[in-house]
Structure formats: C-alpha cells, structure tokens
Amino acid sequence: MPRAEVGTPKYVANKMKSKGLQRLRWYCQVCEKQCRDENGFKCHAQSESHLRQMLVVGEHAGKHIADFSMQFQSEFVALLSRRFGTKRVLANRVYQEYISDKSHLHMNATRWVTLTEFCKHLGRSGIARVDETEKGWFIAWIDNSPKALAKAEASLKKERLTTSDEQRERMLIAEQIERAATGASSSSESEDGPKKEDGLQRDDETEKVVLSFAPKFAVMPSAAAAPLNAPKANPLKVNPLKAMVAVKRTNVFKTAESSKEPGATASKKRPLSAAEQLILEDQERKRRKMEREGV
C-alpha cells in the first residue's frame, strides 16, 4: 500500500498516531521507519523496499555501522557540550534529551549495544570524564579546544602573577623542609646496619671475685678472761660444735637479793661481762668459806 501524500487527512492521521516515542526494537534505521507493533515491523521486514535496501547495506555493512556510530557520537557529544558544558551530569539524562528528537539516530544501528558501553568508550577516548556511582554513570565533557586551552593558560599565568612574595617564600621553605626530611631519612637508612648485640664483657684490670665456703667462727665470750700468754688454738683443729660455749646466764635470785639491799638503786644496771661474773663468783665462794670457818 503506498504512503499517504503530504497534506492529506490520512497523512495527518498517521502523524497524530505516531506522536511520541515508539519501541526501539520496532524501528528500522536503514529505511528510517518506525513501526507501531511487532506485526507491522514483520510486514515491513518482508517488504520489497526493505529487502532492496538491505542488499545495498549488506555489501559494506561495516562501513555503514561505522558511519552510524560516528554520527551518533558526534550528535551526543555536541548536545553534551552545548547543554551541560564541562559539568558532571548523569549520562541517562543526556540520552533522554538526545532521543527526545524524533528524527534522531537510534543506538541499535551503532556498534554500542547499551549506554554503559558508550560511556566507557567516551572515557577511554578522552572525550569525557566517566565515573560509576550507585545512581548510575556520570559523565563530564573535557574541553580540548585551542580556545579553551589558551584561556586556561592565561588564567594560570594570572594566578602566578597575583601570587605574593610571601606566599612564594612559604612555598620555598616548605619545599626545603621536605628535601631535608627526605635526605635525613635516606642517610639514616644507609647508616643503620645490622648491629651486634652487646653481651657481657670482662675487663682485665678489674679484680677477681673469690668465694669462700669455710664456716666463720664467732668470738668466744671466754676469750676476754683468757691470759695474754696463753697459747693460741689452731682454728683448723678446733671442733666448731665444742668451741661454741654459751654465755653464762645471770642468777635471777642473786640479782633480786642485790636489788633488795639498801645500797641498790631502782635504776637499771648495765649487764655484767663474763670476767666480772667470774670475779663475783670467786668473791661469793670466799665469803661462804669464811662463814663456814667462823661457825
């Protein structure tokens, strides 16, 4: 059935029916025809005009796909640069604005199957900065035009001129500090080597320590009463058990009697030595002997 002529009621009705976007899979990019349903697309694929056009495209299929891809990319990037500039924007938002034009080039005719692959291609080509988030893929156009590069260089030169001398000095001081720190760290690493642990060292000049396990004898209390000309006993032949003589205890009763005498004082007397005890005992013995003889 031939198409309706432009301006006829049939043509206007068809335009009203085809208002808005239709299914992408029912669109034929070779014939530039949008079908409303699957049955219409099937009838179009079997038509003589479509088969003739497919024979022409089939001779150089790669060339036609590359042309469609280049056209899609140029139109998409032009919209991105004109509409959003160098701002970071969601890729799906740019694509929705691109396909709002009904006569646009559809993506099913290009070598990119999905929008994600197309965004990755833009990132690898250096056309835009691409990053993936939870909300989707974001892109930002990179302006590499000579005018933009000259503008960026001029702004950088202006910033260098406006930088004060004090800021320059601070930057130089910070750089010097960083260099010194790196140099010190490298020198310390080179100096530090495998050091041996300091063990016990003996000096030859120090005196040697001698340990003796021989028993030490205490001073005998009867040594004070021994005569000066008495022969000294050999300490090696003396039995230490027999040599230990206990100090003679004082007589408690005699001390009590002596304290009852009128000449005794309440003050505490110092303890008698062994020689004094022997003298007192000798005097007491003589006194008893004289009492017995007088009786």
Q: What is the pLDDT of residues 98-156, one digit of tens each?
A: 888 877 888 888 889 889 999 999 999 888 999 999 988 999 988 877 777 777 778 77
Residue 208 covered by a domain: no
Tokens matching residue 141: 């156009």
Residue 124 covered by a domain: yes
Mean of pLDDT values over 167-173 = 85
For residues 95 and 80, what is the distance between their CA atoms, to the nearest angstrom? Answer: 9
Output the domain CATH number for residue 32: 1.10.10.2030
Pair 111, 129 in one domain:
yes
pLDDT tens per residue across span 239-284: 555 544 444 455 545 554 454 444 444 445 677 788 888 888 888 8
Residue 21 covered by a domain: yes
**Strand order in 88-90's β-sheet?**
88-90, 137-141, 128-132
Tell me the residue range of the domain where 82 lies.
9-60+68-144
Residue type, 295: V
The domain tally of the chain equals 2
Asked which of 165, 183, 201 is the last residue of a domain, the reply is: 183
Task: Find residue 16's DSSP bridge partners.
Answer: none
Least confident of 22-36, 158-172, 210-224: 210-224
| Cβ atoms 27, 99 nearer than 8 A | no
pTM: 0.46
| Cβ atoms 218, 244 nearer than 8 A | yes
DSSP per residue, 205-231 = TSPPP----PPPPPPPGGGTTS-TTSP
